Amino acid sequence: MKHKVTFTAMDHGTREDYDLVEAHDARNAAEIADRVMAWLRSMDGDSPYRISRLEHALQSATRAERDGADDETIACALLHDIGDVISPRNHSEASAALLAPYVSEKNHWIVKHHGLFQGYYWLHHYGEDRNARDSYRNNEHYEACVEFCARWDQVSFDPAYRTHPLEHYEPLVRELFARKPRPFL
């Protein structure tokens, strides 16, 4: 990069410095859909499941679409596990952080908490409380997250299920990340 900021500590930055940073960040953000599509493709590898992680994402999105979900929710179904690419141990939070500026508060909450809610289906095998999700029972999005997991996530490991290909969902991904992001606070 030809131009650089003048500061070595952020508290010494000028408006011109931060304009330069913002211009760089805007160019970087314009490429996010390309990176996300590449991350999705990288999920088409070896998996302990009977299908790849990409196929799981496609099944989740296809089920949401066939159930009549709106485009943003379908995109969230596709991307709910995208955090596995960079942080498998807290993939829900990583996925939610990526999506937060672009999706509704409801969809953000569902993606952020789906990992815990999925525990209902397997935590008891390890002597853990499968109902740990109930600590959120009073949250306005609790039932929506239960439904997301029951209808689109936990059932999407079926090698016989016919899904739409990734290319079918690329326009949704591009539209989602082309939205004006909500500012972070």
- Specify the pTM: 0.93
For 80-165, where are the alpha helices, taking DSSP H only?
Answer: 91-99, 105-118, 142-148
Q: What's the rounded Cα separation, in Å, for the pair 89 and 35? A: 21
Per-residue pLDDT tens for 41-53? 999 999 999 999 9
**Per-residue model confidence (pLDDT) at position 28:** 87
Q: Give the end-to-end CA distance of the chain in Å, rounded to a whole number.
A: 29
CB 121 within 8 A of CB 25: no
- Axis-axis angle for helices 105-118, 71-79 (nearest 10): 40
Per-residue pLDDT tens for 52-103? 999 999 999 999 999 999 999 999 999 999 999 999 999 999 999 999 999 9
Class of domain 11-178: mainly alpha
- pLDDT confidence of 25, banded at 50, 70, 90? confident
Quick one: which H or E segment has residue 78?
helix 71-79
**Per-residue model confidence (pLDDT) at position 184:** 63
